[in-house]
Structure formats: C-alpha cells, structure tokens
Structure 1
Amino acid sequence: MRNKVIPWNVDVMGRSRNAIGASARVLLAFGKLFLQDSVMDLVQVRNTDATSPSTSERRRSVVSEHRTLAESTILSETVDPVSNSHEPDSTLGYSPYALQLSPENQPLSASPQFSHYSHSSQESRDLVNPINGELPNLDEHEACLMRYFVVELAPWFDICDGERHFACTVPLRARTCPPLLNAIFTASARHLSRIKKYWRGNQVHYGGKALPKLTSETAIHYHNECIAHFVSISDHSREAQDESLLAAAVILRFYEEVDFPAMGQDTESALRGIQIFLEAQIAPAVSGYGLRHAAYWIALRQEITTAFSKQRTFRLPLGPCEPYRSFSLLMTTLVIHCADVLQYCYGSEEDSPRDRQQSSMGILQTGTDMRLARYEELVAFETLWAELGPPSFKPIYSREPDRSCGEVFPELWYLNNCHVAGLQFLELARILLTVYNPKLPRLGPGQRTAMRSVDQELRSIVVRLCGIALSNEHSPPGLVTASAAIGMCGDRFTEKLEQEALLGVLVQLEDKHAYPTSSVQASLKVAWGWEGYEE
C-alpha cells in the first residue's frame, strides 16, 4: 500500500521555512555546478566573444559589477527569510527588491503562511523601471529572440495553462529580471539556430530580419550570463523564493534538453536549480496560482519525460500533490498518475534508501507484498479512468491506418493540448506498468508467451502515441513524448514499414522542432540490424 503522507500544508511549510536559509548557500553551489557543465571554453563570462551579441550598457555594467563580488562576500550576509524589510540593497548595482511595491500595496498571497517579497510576486503591470517609469528597450537582435520565445517556444510551456503565463507574464517579467531575460535568450538562440527553415545561406533570418550575430556560440553566451546572475544574487536567501528564478530554471531545463548533443550529455544542471527553488516554494507552487504554480507543473512534466527516457529515479516532490489526485482535476490527475508509476518503477528521492531498495528489488516478502498491492492500485487507476474518464478526453475524430496504403499510425484528433498531453502521459504509464508487471513469469513454459504479449502491447501503445502526436501537430510536445516511447520500445518493431515510420517521427521532431534524435535513430538502426548499422 502507499506510504502514509504527512499533511502537506503542515510538513512542507515547516520544511520550506527551514530550507530557505540553506537554499541561499546552495544557490551559489548550483551556479558553480552550472558553470562547470557549460561549454566555458567557447564563451567566457568575463570576455565576451566578438561574435556574441552585445547587450545594453545598463545590463553590461550590472553584470560586471556582480562578477567582482568575492565568494566570501556572497556568503557573508545572512538575510532573514521572513523579514518584512523592503529596503533596497545598496551594496549591489542590481537588486530585485528595489523594484517591489510597498508592504501595503502587496497583493494577497495564495498561501497566507508563505512570505514572498521578491519583485517577481507582483503583477506584470507593476514591473516597470523604477528610474524612468519605462521598460528597457531591446535591440533588434534581442527583440527577435524575445518574439521567437513568445510565438514559437512559449506554447511548449503553456500547453496546459489557460492563462499562458510563459507567453504573457514571463516576457514582461524578464524585462526587469536579467536572469529570466537571459534564460529566454538562451533557449531562443539555441532553438532558432537549429531550425533549418530559418537559414538562408550562412545566416539565420526571422521575422523578416537577418540575425548575423546569431551563431552556434550565442546561446552559450546568454547561458553564461544567466548563470553569472544566479551566482551574483546568491547572498539573498529570499531569492530562493523568487518565482521568476524558478521560471528561468525551467526554461534552462528546456535548453538543456535541446542542447545536450553539443554538451555531449544531458547534465541536468537546471534540474538542480529547480529542486533548490522548489524546496523553498513547494507549498505555494502546488497550492497557489500564477507563474509559480505554472512553472511547477511544467517542471513536473519535464521530469516525467526525462525519468522515463533515462529509466532513473524521479527527483521532484509529489507528496504535496495529494489534493490534485481527484478525478475532478483531470489533466493534473493524469500527470501525477504517470509520476506515481515512475516512482513505482524506478524509486523516488522522497523515499528512504531502504524503502527504495525494497521497492525496486522486492528482497523481503513484506516488500514484495507491498509492491504487488501498489501495482494493483496503479492498474486500478487505469480501469477507473476507462470507466469514469470524461467524454471531452475522447477523440473528436478517429481513423485506423490503411496498411494497404503504407499507413502505420491511426488518426486521433483531440480538442486541445491538455487532452493530448494528459492522454500521452497515461500511455507512458501503461508502457511502464506493462513491463514492470510483477505477475509476469520469469521462467517456465509460459514465459515466452508472456513476453510476446508484452511486446505486442508495447507496439500498440507506441503506435497510438505516434498517432496522437502526428494528428495533433498544434501540440509539438506530443512529438517529444512519442519520441521518448520510440526510444524505449522501438526495438520491439520487426516490420520494415513500421521501423521507417518510427524513424520518420524522430526525423520530423529534429528537423521541425530542433529536438535531438540522431543518437536514438542510430541506436534503433543497430537494434534492427539495418545494413551498415550492425553491432
């Protein structure tokens, strides 16, 4: 049975208050780890390459002043995490607290027990330059990157957010929050430079503008600028509560997913930042509203895809999500169910090492019984969804593939992105529950028959996932989810027609949406024994 969860509104709040001071110290370590994982030999933070885009004099002087801070200075000042002081920090050239409203003008918090005094807690309309009352202008290069984020990338983040925080709130917040601004530029620069249709000759063109300064090193430049800011503000314990920095970490995690071929591997450095910020913000992130709430659910979806693809421990907290397991909260219910299944299969950092060992290995009889009971609970959810799932999650149009015409995937049209994302997470959970079924025979005459049944079920799920993704191209993240399933289960396909169709999905994801799939394609060709790809 599921371990009893301590009431989140009591336990998490206590841990959040205690963790804030420690988070300030960890924030510096996070920045250093990020710097180590960056390609620092290409673009140094201090010495900007001639090909890297220039920034405004105001932001350049701010970054320069921050970098002169010695490590001892950064760690020397202790800030009361629940202090109501609104005095601007005169020791730094840039202080987010100089932009905030007076206490009497503070909006009501979503969680009255949680104090948050960063400028990022204000409504976007209040985020103006305190000196001249105007937002700083961007140059043409930066304006193109900002527009690209709003038009092309924000929909990836806002697929289940009716208020579209990453399209509407984040860009305006970024105008007065340098780390968030540089995170946006980082993601846009890398993604835009990877899309073939924007290249004309040896230059990228977007929005009718040539971008000669956009090179392979541009994203690294902005990435290093962003991390320099993380390091420079790490002496403020309240920064761990800043929802804009949480949003910046989520955007950097997206950048890592797109950029890992250039880095050699997915280091998941941004995930460490997300964990630090969520440690201090988990209660309002889960139970509240606004940007912080939206960023938490995006981080959760990112973690699901990563943990599934890497077959590793689930690293974000789910304990506070108990109120969202109700069937009345449809999309969040499916997300949490998939995360629950990942925890069942690979363990969770919320568990103790002993619990994790018993869960994954079933060494003790008691552990085996508990694991079987937990499996039955997770399977029962699927049965319940099949019986009680709302009609809105049914396809508005469906058609089986015509194999005589070379079709492999079904057509499954859904009304909106939430339906696509939620149902795909349900399919990922089905893959895991099929493979990790504790009732499967390990030996004996029925073992081969059982494995053939497993392979058939996995092929059916992958085909369905690809059909959902290709039938709903208005939701590009669907292709990412489908590609994760292809990477894990594609070797089960033996027909050449199906293999070529799967490769077509991976090629489309890389060519149209800049997600790297070349290594997965090569691995599958080896597994299939294609000529020239033998092991």
Structure 2
Amino acid sequence: MSAARLGRYQACDRCRTRHIRCNRRSANESCIACKNAKATCCRERKTIFYKTQCAPAEPRRTTLPDERPEIIVGQDPTDHTPSVEVDSVGFSVLSESSLSSLSSPESYGDLMTNVSTSPGTQDSSIVQGDFISPEGLDKLPWPLESQFEASLLKYFLKTLSPWFDYCDPQQHFRTYVGNNSASDITLLYAVLAVSARHQSTSHHWQSRVADEYQQRCLRSLIAALNDQEKTLPDTILASAAILRFFEEMTETPEESVRTHHMLSAQLLLRITEGHVFRSSFTDAAFLVVLRSEIYVANLTQRPIGNLADHCNIDTSLEPTSECMWALRAIAHVAKATNLAYGGDSVKTTPNHHWESLMQYIVDWERLCPESFRPIYSQKQISSTNPFPQLYYANDYHVAARQHIELAKVLLLASNPQSCLLRMQQRRIGRSNDDRIRDSVRVICGVAMSNPEFTQALVGAGLVIAVCGELFDDPVETKLLFQLLSDAEAHIGWPCLKAKEHLRGLWRV
C-alpha cells in the first residue's frame, strides 16, 4: 500500500469512514481492504441521515438497542476525514489538527430514523434530542435525558464490561465506568461509542452514531492530553483503552497493523508516563490492552514488544494470589509471541531462550495452586464431541489453562531444534504437530466445557485461526469451524480471513 493517505476524493467510503489508508486509484478498481472484506468499493459523497417516511410528530419515543433501528443513508456534499500523524518511532500521535476536520455536530442536526415497532403499530420518528445528545457540553445531564444513550451505557455494563474484566475479580471496569460516567464526559463518550459499534456489528445496523461518539471522545481526549499543567485523571486511560477496543471492531487486525492504531499500545504507555497516577485500575487497563495485543499479534504474525513489562505482573514463580498466577500465564504468552515472530531482544542463543521459556511452563504447572486443576475432567465431551471436557471454577482458572496451552503452541511451532531431532520425533510417532494439536484440543475443550465464561471463546477462536490447518478429521473440523464462528460473532472483531480460508480447506 502507498505510505501516504489518498486525497479525500480518491479514498473509498469504507476506508474513509474507518480512517484507514486506501489504495484505490480509479472508479473501476477495488482497494485491498474492500477486497479482503468482500465489500463494495465505491466513492460517494459523505452520508448523513434523513427521514424517508413521514411520521406523526407525537408521540415520540426513544428506542432500546435490541429494537434495531433502520438508519437510512443519504448524501451530503461536504466531506470531513480525520488524519493520523505518525511519529519517527512508528506509532500514532493524536493532535488537534488530526481531528480539525471531523464532522461538526451540525451535520447531525437532521438526524432522524425509522423505528421498527411491534406488528400493527405505526412507525414513530426519533429526532436528535431523543437519539443523541448535543455536543459541546462539559458533562451530560445526569440522569441521562436520552433513553437511547442510557441503554448504551447499560449495554456496556451488562454485556461488554465482562470482556474488559476478564481475570479481574475486582471488576475494575464495570465498577469504574459505573461510578465515573456521571462526572466524566470523555469516559461516557467512549462507552457510548463502543456500545453503539458492538451493537451495530452484532445486529447488522447501518449506523454512524458510533463514529460520532468516537469523534467527540477523541476531541475531549486531545484537549486533556494537551493540558500539560495538571496530572491526568485515570479516566483518560480508561477512555483510551475503551476506544482502542472500538478501533479493533471497526477495522480488521490486518488493517490496524498497516495503519497503526490511533490509540496504539505505545501511545497508551506515553499517556501514563509521568502524567497518570498508577493504580490498580491502570494495571487492569493495561491488562486489557495486553490481551488484545496477544490476539491481534498472533493473527497478524508480529511481535508484541515489552508491553507485558508495564502491566505490573509478578512473573516469578513465588507463592502469590490465584489471580496473579493467571496473569503470569498471560504475560508468558506475550514472551512466547515475541519469540515466535522474531521480536525478542534477549541476549542469549535461540535454543537457550526457547528452553528457558518452555521450562517456565513446566515449572508453572508444577507450582501453581491446586485450584488450577480442573474440578472435573474426562477425555471427551460426548460420543459426538471428541474434545476433552474440563470444568473450572473461575474465569482466571480458565484463562490460565488456555494461555499456558497457547504458550506451548507458540513455542512448539517455533522450536529451534535440529532437523535430525525432528525426524527422530516423527519416527517415534510424536511430532511437534501432534503436541500442538493436543494443546489446541485442550483450549477448545475448555471453551466448550465452560460456556458461562464467554471470553474463553476468544482464546479458542484465536488458536483455531492460527493452527486450524493442522486438523483434517471431519468430526473435529466441523466443531472447530462452529467454535470459530461463535468466537467471531461474540467478540465483534474480524479474524482476518481465517474463517473463509478454513471453510475452503475443511469444505464445511
């Protein structure tokens, strides 16, 4: 792709609304991003919302997210596209000029939509005051006056906060967002943005409301970051971490790597350096970023870097809390990812470093508390499901087992052993591929056996996308494909083209 962003009259609508680079050069040519997404590549004028059917002005009502409003798209002759500046070390820097051309609040002045109601009732219209609050307020009125915005906040607390609070017994994000949304408009805009985006993805809405909330949040973030005279509240870090999740739902991981996150992990680190007081919440925020980095880095085959060093994780094997044992497993996957994709700067030989990482796994399994063993296990879930059945008590037990197995997969796949040793393993019928398949089966079995911990789907979807080509048994591949489909639907992130690639490979 070209290193420079195309002019605003060249980039296609899909790339422009996602703020990513577009290589479309003519009206008859599709860009790579649209080809990968199998989407129509076109360049129209900027869209706004308009009402296509007259409806009585009274009574008006707001809509809850599960009512799925159908937003109709029209044309507007204006065009506003934010840009991202990239600094010399290769990650994005937000500036006031980056957002100087974002859509003004007036562009939503005519925001209206048709609302699906129960059969036999007449559609009612929703205007700006009911749908989205006006911009320019220091804080939104509390209680919220918009039922739609209130429902988005509830959606985050109920549906999305468990993703952020995975392996966090204190549930920092749910508690923090619930306590601070009333007083911090930046945090509230971040929550409204990610909730609207997740619902539009899972319910297949056509909605630009999420983009508007994102732009408002970014403006507020920039204003706070430009104020060098006061220490930043940790709501800034919370907002940035939530918006980063928004970005990953907006564009594919492949596109994120090529264009860099506007709110990259490195930028979040810079936000905290000398500006944000470190607390248990900042540690929880960086754990969220680390988990998403592990997911994206392995799908795009790139190293993570030293992000795990900033998460305040005790990586020794000394006695500690059960939750910290799980965090050790997550941090170890980051190290294994760096080794697998060439991002490890350890000054030792590859063999020695690989052996030390593998030995850490052996020692972790030997020294971890007994509660990390499954409370029940059997070789397969049922006669039609050959994956192992493993019951666990808590989400951090589930996460620990999945991440330890994922670390094994990454290390086995990048084993620097000699060709002679690999041939000897095959002769005895126990190659690295066999051991990798065993670990994949455990990760998937854990997800299937513990459906109450829905975040385990993410771990299963990741390892299937990375290692699915090693499986050819139709019984297994059918179950793996269904699990991958469920994972993609749950997280709202596209898994690159893994699903379609494996569909063709497995013929399912």
TM-score of the pair, normalised by structure 2: 0.69
Aligned partner of 1:389: which letter?
C
Name the CA distance, whole Å, in 2 between partners of 1:342 and 1:518: 18
Which residue of the partner structure matches residue 298 of structure 1?
288
Amino acid in structure 1 at the alignment position of 2:285: A
Contact 2:388 2:442 in 1 (8 A): yes
Instruction: Give the 3-state SS of the residue equivalent to 1:324 in structure 2.
Output: coil
Distance, in Å, in 2 between the alignment partners of 1:162 and 1:33 is 40
Question: Given the alignment of the two structures, is residue 231 of structure 1 paired with residue 222 of structure 2, yes or no?
Answer: yes
The question of 1:47 aligning with 2:42 is answered no
User: What corresponds to 2:372 in structure 1?
Assistant: 393
- 2:478 aligned with 1:414, yes or no? no
- Is 2:152–2:196's contact at 8 Å kept on the other side of the alignment? yes
- C-alpha distance in 1 between matches for 2:428 and 2:504: 25
2:444 to 466, 473, 498: 466
Maintained 8 Å contact 1:284/1:292: no
What is the match of residue 338 of structure 1?
333
Instruction: State the match for 1:193 in structure 2.
Output: 200
User: Does 2:467 match 1:477?
Assistant: no
Partners of 1:262 and 1:334 in 2: CA distance: 23
> CA 1:62–1:283 in 2, change beyond 3 Å: closer, same or farther?
closer
Q: Please report how far the alpha carbon of residue 276 of structure 1 lies from its aligned counterpart in structure 2 after TM superposition.
A: 2.3
Structure 1 residues 519 and 445: alpha-carbon distance in aligned structure 2, compared to 1, 3 A threshold: closer
Superposed, which structure 2 residues align to 1:377-392 within 5 Å? 377-392=356-371
Question: 1:33 deviation in Å?
Answer: 9.8
Structure 2 counterpart of 1:332, one-letter code? L
Residues in 2 aligned to 1:386 and 1:190: alpha-carbon distance in whole angstroms? 39
Asked if 1:183 is matched to 2:173, the reply is: no
- Corresponding residue to 1:250 among 241, 245, 248: 241
1:62 to 136, 143, 149: 136
1:82-101 alignment, distance < 5 Å: 94=138
Measured after TM superposition, the shift of residue 376 of structure 1 is 1.4
TM superposition shift of 1:273: 4.5
Corresponding residue number in structure 2 for 1:152: 159
| Aligned mate of 1:29, from 93, 96, 109 | 93
Find the counterpart in structure 2 of residue 67 from structure 1.
none
Query: Structure 1's 260 and 246: CA in aligned 2 closer, same or farther, altered over 3 A?
Result: same
Deviation at 1:293, TM superposition (A): 2.1
Q: Is the 8 A contact 1:507 1:517 kept in 2?
A: no
CA pair 450-143 structure 1, distance change in 2 beyond 3 A: farther
How big is the shift at 1:34?
7.6
Distance 1:516 1:480 in 2: 12
Which structure would you say has the larger RCO, counting Cα contacts within 8 Å and 6 or more residues apart?
Answer: 1
Q: Which has the higher helix share?
A: 1
Q: Report whether the alignment pairs 1:217 with 2:278.
A: no
Query: Cα distance 1:440–1:266, how it changes in 2: closer, same or farther (>3 A)?
Result: same
Gaps of 5+ in 1: 1-22, 64-93, 95-128, 200-213, 360-366
Provide the aligned length of Structure 1 versus Structure 2. 401
Aligned counterpart, 1:429: 407
Deviation at 1:295, TM superposition (A): 0.7
- Which position in structure 1 is the counterpart of 2:19? none
Q: Aligned to 1:412, what secondary structure does the other structure show?
A: strand
- Taking the TM superposition and a 5 Å limit, the aligned residue runs for 1:8-19 are none
Partner Cα distance (1:419, 1:282) in 2: 32
Deviation, 1:330, is 1.0
The 1-side partners of 2:192 and 2:178 are apart by 11
Please give the alpha-carbon distance, in whole angstroms, between the structure 2 residues aligned to 1:55 and 1:232.
26
Deviation per residue, 1:409-446 (Å, 9 max, x gap): 22211111111112211111111110111114289955
Q: Is the 8 A contact 1:34 1:227 kept in 2?
A: no
The alignment partner of 2:251 has SS state of helix
Q: Give the Cα–Cα distance (whole angstroms) in 2 for the partners of residues 262 and 283 of structure 1.
A: 30
Tell me which amino acid in the other structure corresponds to 1:227: L
Counterpart AA for 2:358: V
Q: Does 1:325 align with 2:331?
A: no
Q: 2:279 aligns with which of 264, 269, 289?
A: 289
For the structure 1 residues 312 and 423, does the alpha-carbon distance in structure 2 shift closer, same or farther, using more than 3 Å as the test?
A: same
Alignment partners' CA distance in 1, 2:466 and 2:499: 12
Quick check: 293-302 or 234-243, which moved more?
234-243
Question: Hey, what does 1:72 align to over in structure 2?
Answer: none
Counterpart contact for 2:358–2:411, Cα < 8 Å: yes
The DSSP-based 3-state class of the residue aligned with 2:393 is: coil
Contact 1:303 1:316 in 2 (8 A): no
TM-superposition CA deviations, 1:200-250 (whole Å, max 9, x none): xxxxxxxxxxxxxx7432212211222222233342136784321211121
Q: Distance in 2 between matches of 1:186 and 1:268?
A: 21
Provide closer, same or farther for how the CA distance between residues 322 and 277 of structure 1 changes in structure 2, counting only shifts above 3 A. closer
Counterparts in 2 of 1:344 and 1:511: CA distance versus 1, 3 Å: closer
Deviation at 1:29, TM superposition (A): 3.2
User: Structure 2: 5+ residue runs without aligned partners?
Assistant: 1-86, 114-126
8 Å Cα contact 1:253/1:270 also seen in 2: yes
Which residue does the alignment assign to 1:8? none
Identity %, equivalent residues: 28
C-alpha displacement of 1:290: 3.2
In structure 2, what residue type is equivalent to 1:333? Answer: R
- The equivalent residue for 2:300 is 310
CA RMSD of aligned residues (A): 3.8
> Residues 143 and 431 from structure 1, CA distance in 2 versus in 1: closer, same or farther, beyond 3 angstroms?
same
| Shift in Å, 1:395 | 0.8
Paired residue for 2:267? 276
Alpha carbons 2:437, 2:471 under 8 Å: kept: yes
Distance 1:436 1:273, change over 3 A: closer
Q: Give the AA of the match of 1:140.
A: Q
Query: So what's the TM-score if we normalise by structure 1?
Result: 0.65
Counterpart of 1:476 in 2: which secondary structure? Answer: coil
